Amino acid sequence: MKHFVKPTLFGLTFGFFILILYTKHDTIYYKKLLRKCHLDSPKDHHNVTFPKNIKWKNVQKDNENVKLGGIWEPDECIPDQRMAIIIPYRDRSTHLMYFLDYMHPFLQRQKLSYRIFVIEQKRPFLFNKASLMNIGFKIASELDEQLECFIFHDVDIFPENDQILYKCSKDDQEVMHFSDFVDKYNYTTVFILNGGALAVTKELFKKVNGYSNLYWGWGGEDNNLVQRFKDNNITIHRCKNSTNCKYTMIKHVRDAGNPTNHNQNKIIKVLEKEDPVYFKHDGLTTLNFTLHKIKEFPLFTWVYVSLDASTYNRSLVDIRQDGKHIAKDQVYEKIPQIFHFKVKT
């Protein structure tokens, strides 16, 4: 009996090992047989609604197919790109619930491989959206080196049509702007929007050194980024058909920590005059922040940070022209109260 039991145990162990090998081999073989995902999404229009009693537990239950950290990819085909959705965030819990509950199904209908990152600013009180997007790019790139496409997305804006294909351009000198027609502006282009939803490849974002870190409060950072694209001969692809490119924006009162920056246009004009390649000295390469925590929640990856306002303020002094520093007095003389709001640390 003993001689019979030992071979049986050995046989079971060996058989289990072979089963694992075959399962692994079949999985690899299966993936090789998969076709590439088609980017053509169903031509459905969606009326974006915002239920008053939305709760986290319901949002999570509605999206149980999403992996921890806000990760999802299709099983039936191979996505063309691997992307990160970067959301700058603070004190918008309800908006974030709406966003996740709406956008996860939207992205999945397009059969995308994606991960959602929420970048939250703890300090200072004054909001710096651009720096948060730079941080999101940096952290996401470090966590997943295979990410190719980065979509910088406001938390309060929603695509109404599945034909708005979320992807980065195949043209190595082109970025994609999606949110050109917004209900807040009656779906017109009276205001040329540069923010909202923008897709940039890793290479192009590095090429322009990301966003400027000098914009505190609301406004200006998106226009600055557009100027960086122009300075590097990068074109912006915009939607020309308002019927298929509509967005809904949540109506809300401006946050106390994100007041309008009335000097936003002065910043870029003065910097460009002083140094045509100023962007090389302000952006990804001058990020200064404290990382408090990275946590994977069921529907997104949370990155909690504080910014060093004093370092960013001083970064103006480091802008170079012909290899020489611009004197501090000159900078602040030419940029009258460029940091219009007192940045409290």
Cite the active site residues: 154, 156, 218, 221-222, 249, 252, 254
> Cα(178)–Cα(196) distance, rounded to whole angstroms?
8
Residue 160: which of 185, 182, 175, 176 has the closest Cα? 182
Residue 248: which of 199, 187, 190, 194 has the closest Cα? 187
CB 163 within 8 A of CB 224: no
Residue 203: which of 224, 227, 236, 173 has the closest Cα? 173
Helix ranges restricted to H, the chain: 2-33, 56-62, 93-109, 129-143, 202-207, 221-231, 264-274, 309-314, 328-334
Q: 10 Å Cβ neighbour count for 199? A: 24
CA atoms within 13 A on the CB side of 199: 25
> Cα(12)–Cα(48) distance, rounded to whole angstroms?
56
Question: Cα–Cα–Cα angle for 108, 130, 231, nearest 5°?
Answer: 100
- DSSP helix/strand/coil, 266: helix
DSSP 137-182: HHHHHHH-TT--EEEEE-TTEEESBTTS-----SSTTEEEE---EE
Q: Based on C-alpha coordinates, what's the Rg of the chain? A: 24
Q: 10 Å Cβ neighbour count for 8? A: 10
Q: Residue-wise over 144-168: b if at least 16 C-beta within 10 A, else e?
A: beebbbbbbbbbbbbbbbbbbebbb
Tokens of 259: 């007041």
